Homo-oligomer: A and B are copies of this chain.
């Protein structure tokens, strides 16, 4: 039985939505465990009590330090103490990162954990990492991200020998900034299936199975994609409703637009993995629906089943870190 600790108090839609999603995820081999205040209606699921709540806008490190009894921290703790196999939270991303670093700790040799987001590309799902765990990264970090992304693509997306690309500003190896130029050299010299640079315009088509970048660029890319989709669909709706003929056409294409929106829906994947830790953590969108939470819990359970953490520990130990001393900097969480 795989036990997934679910932070009931994270997310913008309130604990009822999250509990409902967790209930839907329960199965013969997945047991969601709710973490929240005493008296919360868990719909029959086990409750781990946690009286405090970390809000979306609290400063991450401070919140985690001053609220050790918050649902978010206690949910991470449950994994660290072996009371659960994985944790899911739709709460404050920075706080989740800080709590995971504290309660789960990094895999030996990993300098920075990374957030792996699955992009619903046309060619099939594609993993973008780091999507925002670290605003600054070194070239060696990007190589670790590539290894982590490869394990994710193999185990979770079922891709054999995943193709890796580095996000840059041109396909040629000599295009990029200091970070990507050096990362390109390191990736090319690694034993990964590295296919060179990818450009931003190919992300939604499916640039590669794994696209590696620093957390600043990755986060900007996700938000630009999100904003462009929203802006474009709004613009189209506006233009369509400006004429009567357009309005009729709009009615007729509604099912098509709905199918497209479903294809691009981030809820399909439910959440992002926080990779590089000794335990499995999934960060769900703040606005997660019941369905998104169900998918996030299933995603977490699949990671446990496939032993993603074990694979990462082995893989990073073998191929990246043998030749380098491990360093332990302060986590870059604000």
A interface with B by C-beta (< 8 Å): 59, 122, 132, 135-136, 167-169, 174-178, 180, 199-205, 214-217, 219-236, 239-240, 242-243, 245-246, 248-257, 259-260, 263-264, 334
How many angstroms from the CA of A180 to the CA of B298 in the assembled complex? 37
Contact B221 A204 (CB under 8 A): no
How many angstroms from the CA of A174 to the CA of B333 in the assembled complex? 10
Interface of A: prevailing SS: helix
Contact A252 B249 (CB under 8 A): yes
Contact A252 B257 (CB under 8 A): no
Q: Which residues of B contact A227 (CB under 8 A)?
A: 199-205
Q: Which residues of B contact A230 (CB under 8 A)?
A: 201
How many angstroms from the CA of A153 to the CA of B228 in the assembled complex? 23
Q: Can you tell how many copies of this chain the complex includes? A: 2
Q: Which residues of B contact A243 (CB under 8 A)?
A: 255-256
22 sampled A-B residue pairs with Cβ under 8 A: A122-B231, A132-B169, A135-B175, A135-B178, A168-B216, A169-B215, A177-B214, A177-B216, A200-B221, A201-B223, A202-B227, A205-B227, A217-B217, A235-B260, A235-B264, A236-B236, A236-B260, A239-B260, A245-B255, A246-B256, A249-B252, A253-B253
Contact B224 A240 (CB under 8 A): no
With A221-B200, A250-B253 in contact, do A232 and B229 touch (Cβ < 8 Å)?
yes
Q: Which residues of B contact A122 (CB under 8 A)?
A: 231, 234-235
Q: Which residues of B contact A235 (CB under 8 A)?
A: 122, 260, 263-264
Q: Which residues of B contact A226 (CB under 8 A)?
A: 200-201
How many angstroms from the CA of A222 to the CA of B257 in the assembled complex? 25
Contact B219 A169 (CB under 8 A): yes
Q: What residue in chain B is nearest A244 (Cβ atoms)?
A: B252
